[in-house]
């Protein structure tokens, strides 16, 4: 079952918070782990695992567009679910 309702919000010039609707224990066949992947120009630039339905991704470059996908690892982290629809982020430099 794919992860749904991905939201990407700006934290600062180089970081975003990614949130999504968590799978139920039944959907995930246990406690799910999620893999959040950040893609720039068709290439994965970072990937991290989290047990929660929210993560902050840092180290992004200002003035750059990224796509973010989330994938649930089900059955104790051994069986991968399908990829989510991508969420998108464009980093803007903000003058203080």
Q: What is the model's pTM?
A: 0.78
Q: What are phi and psi of 25, to 5 degrees?
A: -60, -35
Nearest to 44 by CA among 80, 11, 71: 71
CA-to-CA distance for 89 and 96, rounded, in angstroms? 21
List pLDDT tens digits, range 38-95: 989 889 999 999 989 999 999 998 888 888 888 888 665 555 555 656 666 555 443 3
Domain ranges of the chain: 4-90
CATH code: domain 4-90 is 2.60.40.10
């Amino acid at each position: 079952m794919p992860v749904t309702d991905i939201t990407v919000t700006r934290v600062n010039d180089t970081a975003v918070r990614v949130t999504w609707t968590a799978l139920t224990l039944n959907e995930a066949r246990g406690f799910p782990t999620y893999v959040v992947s950040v893609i720039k120009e068709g290439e994965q630039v970072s990937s991290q695992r989290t047990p929660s339905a929210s993560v902050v991704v840092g180290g992004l470059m200002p003035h750059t567009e990224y796509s973010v996908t989330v994938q649930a690892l089900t059955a104790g982290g051994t069986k991968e679910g399908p990829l989510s629809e991508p969420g998108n982020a464009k980093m803007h430099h903000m003058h203080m």
